[in-house]
Every structure is written in structure tokens, then in C-alpha cells.
Amino acid sequence: MKLHILLNPGANRAAAGPAWPEVEASLRSAGHELRVLAVTTRSEAFACVGEAVGEGAETFVAAGGDGTLQLLVDALMISPSMRDRTSDSPNPGKIRVGAIGMGTSNDFHKPLDTAPRIAGFPCRLKEEGASPRDVIELSITRPDGMHEIRCFLQAAHVGTIAETNQLLTQRHGIFNNLYHFWYKPALLGASAYTVFTYPGFDAEVKCGKETWTGTFTGMSLIKQPYVAGDFKFATNRRPDDGLFDLALCCKVTPWRLIGLIDAFEKKGLSGHENVHFAEASEVSVRFAQPQPIDYDGELIMAIEARWRVIPKALTILG
């Protein structure tokens, strides 16, 4: 099987690059034909993937973290060649997507203790067990009025989770400095700080016939349960069921939020006071002030956003 590898050498704080030669050797020893597309920017990824799709490539593998996989999905779904082939309709088609988890958290591969491995890294590379998977499309309006689209597989968040991600990866300070050397303590520290200091965001959220307006602590759209670190949402969602779980948490005290976080992991997202829950295929939001949106660990600022499920848009390797 010929694999077109989208390699992000900067993944896991630049640890992926030095580790790649051993992974490549293992892939070739396993009989795979490789075309390695090493990229450092979004535009490079789009150009390389779009060219490969146009040439008829059918199997792509993201070698990096969850962000690298998200970038590959973005490049495939937004590529004109891919759009022509899927026509935005339920169609697993011939495009297959795999992944080698060389990132910091590797949520897509969790639970990590049971994941297949290549050169020590979790992976999804087998044709056996390949299955169609929904893609979530995020359409946003930036604070400057520009419109953009992102596509992803796992989850999106506004509020405390996105704020924590910003503290870790984008804002200079103790948590960002610690993140580069000691990931889990940095994550725990930033999470605790956010829980006790986050003021909430004002927004209007629409889902089906429901409209909720007010101040909210957090908003999560869950397709896959795992989030950074060891946290796991309890959800009944399946990769190809055409839906995501929406949990919209009203503004609550820090101690109430801690209780809800525990309940989300043990009991699921529904049935909690202060939390609006829906199983949905589309939701939109308008923020009073620009907010960071976390989508599969990546961040983008928006004043408006809409999420919708594109059913069975890609086939994911086993």
C-alpha cells in the first residue's frame, strides 16, 4: 500500500523530526511504499495534499500530533479535487486516512495502551478495519470579518478548554514556559487557573429549534470522547452516526464547574442542572466579543461560528 505521509517535524515541541527516520525505516520494512510530504505551514500542506489528490492518491497518513491530522483532514476536505470527488454527500469514497501519533497528547489514538504501534508510536495504518467516518465542518467569521473553514474529526470547545489551550500554547507566561518541558503539570496548572479565573463568554447559541442567550462557562461539541491529558467525556457518539453531542454550560461557580467536569466524565453530558444538552448535526453561535475556538487542539479566533456534520466523508484506516 502506497502511503502519502503528511509529516510535521515540529510536532511534540519539535521531537517528531528527529524521531521520523526510525519510523520511516519501520514503515518501509513493513512493505509500505512511501511518499513523504514534510510541511511546516498550512499553505504547504494544502499545496502538497491537493497536488497528490489531483494525481489520484488515495491513502494519506498524518505523522505528527492531533493538529497534523486535523490539517490533513482540512487539506483533503477543502481541496478542489476532493470536493469534486465527494460532492459534499455521504460517500466514503476511495480516500483513506491514517495517522501516526507523534504529538504531545495524541487524543485520536486513545486509549493509548491498546493502540497499535509503529516504532513505538501509536498508529492507524491497517486496511483491515478501515471504516467511514463523519467529518465536522467549522465555518467561522473572524473578528476582521474574514470567513474561513476548518474540518476536523474529534471535538470542539469554547470557554474554559479553549482558554486553557491558549494559556498553554500561545500566551507567554509560566504555563506556556512549563508546557515546553513538562506537559502534564503545565496542563493541570493551566486548567486549575482557568477554572478559578475564567469570567465566561456572552453568546447566542442556536441548535435546531432551540436558542440560548446568556453568559456561559463552556461549550463543547463532542464526536470522540478523549481530550488532552487523561480526561474522557462519557458519550454514546459513534464515528459515523451523523451527530455530535452539544453541551452548553451556563455561568457557574468554580466549585460547581469542578463537579460538572467530574460528572461529564462519569455520567455523560446530559441531565445536569446548568447545562443545555443536545444531540445535533448542526449548531451556530454568535459571540458578543471574539472568542478562541479549540478544534482538535488547534485554535482560531471568531465572532461567529457554525458547526455541521458531513456524514461519512472519509474512510479511516484501522
Q: Going from the first residue of the chain to its last (318 residues), give the mean pLDDT of each consecutive group of 10, the final group possibly shorter.
A: 92 92 95 92 91 90 95 87 49 79 92 93 94 96 97 96 93 87 89 96 97 98 85 91 97 95 90 96 98 96 98 93
Q: How far apart are the C-alpha atoms of 295 and 184, rounded to whole Å?
A: 20
Q: Assign 3-class secondary structure to 125-179.
A: CCCCCCEEEEEEEEEEECCCCCEEEEEECCEEEEEHHHHHHHHHHCCCCHHHHHH
Q: What local confidence, expressed as pLDDT, does residue 90 receive?
A: 38
Q: What local confidence, expressed as pLDDT, does residue 273 receive?
A: 94
- Distances, alpha carbon 167 to alpha carbons 65, 114, 290, in Å: 19, 31, 16
Q: What local confidence, expressed as pLDDT, does residue 83 receive?
A: 53
Q: What local confidence, expressed as pLDDT, does residue 231 receive?
A: 81
**What is the C-alpha R_g of the chain?**
19
Q: What local confidence, expressed as pLDDT, does residue 91 receive?
A: 43
| Count of CB atoms situated within 10 Å of the CB of 179 | 21
Chain position carrying cell 469514497: 93
Q: What local confidence, expressed as pLDDT, does residue 81 receive?
A: 55
Q: How many CA atoms lie within 13 A of 146 on its CB side?
A: 5
Q: What local confidence, expressed as pLDDT, does residue 222 receive?
A: 95
**Residue 275: closest CA among 302, 248, 298:** 248
Q: What local confidence, expressed as pLDDT, does residue 208 receive?
A: 95
Grouping H, G, I as helix, E, B as strand and the rest as coil, residue 89 is coil
Grouping H, G, I as helix, E, B as strand and the rest as coil, residue 31 is coil
Q: What local confidence, expressed as pLDDT, does residue 101 receive?
A: 96
Q: Containing H/E element for 275?
A: strand 275-280
The predicted model scores a pTM of 0.91
| Domains, the chain | 2-125 (3.40.50.10330), 136-311 (2.60.200.40)
Q: What local confidence, expressed as pLDDT, does residue 93 receive?
A: 56
Q: Containing H/E element for 193?
A: helix 183-197
Q: What local confidence, expressed as pLDDT, does residue 117 receive?
A: 96
